[in-house]
Homo-oligomer: A and B are copies of this chain.
Amino acid sequence: MHSFTEENYLKAIYALTQKSEGSPDGSPVSLSGASSDPLPVNTNAIAERVATKAASVTDMLKKLADKQLIHYQKYQGVTLTETGRKAALNIIRRHRLWEVFLVDKLGFGWHEVHSLAEELEHIRSDELIDKLEAFLGNPQVDPHGDPIPDHAGQVRHPVSQTLSVTEAGQTVVVTGVLEHSSSFLQYLEKIGLVLNAEVLMRELNQFDKSLFIRINHQSDTFISHEVARNVLVSGKG
């Protein structure tokens, strides 16, 4: 099959493809994958994501194109073929299931699991992953609220919006985050803005768009617009 390194490139290309979609203002979207042909991904963007140089990326792109995993024409960027997309989603499936394992079973914090899952995800055994999935109780999302693709590469993107576009008086539930950095996740945990937390939007400051919210009927908290636009929520119930 594909090497460790090839898998990382596929994952990077997939992630960059996704990034170029979605609504810029945070309003409700169901990224159901039904979106038409994605924009081609740049060599430099891939280089940054896999922490290497553009020249190395070009080499790998040729290799992936030979293997029919990407559509590639010199200087024109790349998109995944259907085979490549399935492969990428399979890696993401493995990654997210391991994250659930690390958090739910081993007791890691949601900010600690990314890099471990990046290693675990490269163990290619469908039997292992299927058994792991069953053992975890067939979870639908990972600890950050990101959906877990199924066998066939189907992803159920839950409909959600960012906390920043919620209106005063509304009550919503945290369903995910857009930013995955460790420091951000640790901050959210500290203020209790974790997955499934209930948020009552009390006040929206017109000037800087900062928010005054009540979390789980208890703690009144100020959060910045920057934070709010990286937290995904959906209507209660």
Within 8 A of B (CB), among A82-109: 102, 105-108
Cβ–Cβ < 8 Å partners of A102 in chain B = 128
Cβ–Cβ < 8 Å partners of A120 in chain B = 120, 123
Query: How many angstroms between the C-alpha atoms of A120 and B125 in the bound complex?
Result: 11
Q: At the interface, yes or no: A119 with Cβ under 8 Å from chain B?
A: yes
Cβ–Cβ < 8 Å partners of A123 in chain B = 116, 119-120
A108 closest partner in B (C-beta): B131
CB–CB B119/A106 < 8 A: no
In-complex Cβ contact of A125 among B105, B116, B132 (8 A): B116
Q: At the interface, yes or no: A135 with Cβ under 8 Å from chain B?
A: yes
Secondary structure dominating the interface of A: helix
In-complex Cβ contact of A131 among B107, B119, B128, B131 (8 A): B107
Interface 0/1 of A119-146, CB less than 8 Å to B: 1100101001001100100000000000
CB–CB B125/A106 < 8 A: no
A120 closest partner in B (C-beta): B123
Shortest Cβ distance from A8 into chain B, in angstroms?
Answer: 15
Shortest Cβ distance from A132 into chain B, in angstroms?
Answer: 6
Cβ–Cβ < 8 Å partners of A131 in chain B = 106-108
Shortest Cβ distance from A138 into chain B, in angstroms?
Answer: 14
Within 8 A of B (CB), among A6-24: none
Query: How many angstroms between the C-alpha atoms of A132 and B131 in the bound complex?
Result: 17
CB–CB B116/A135 < 8 A: no
Cβ–Cβ < 8 Å partners of A108 in chain B = 131
Cβ–Cβ < 8 Å partners of A132 in chain B = 106
In-complex Cβ contact of A106 among B106, B107, B135 (8 A): B135
Q: A residues near B, CB below 8 A?
A: 102, 105-108, 116, 119-120, 123, 125, 128, 131-132, 135
Closest 5 CB pairs of A and B: A106-B131, A119-B123, A106-B135, A116-B128, A105-B135
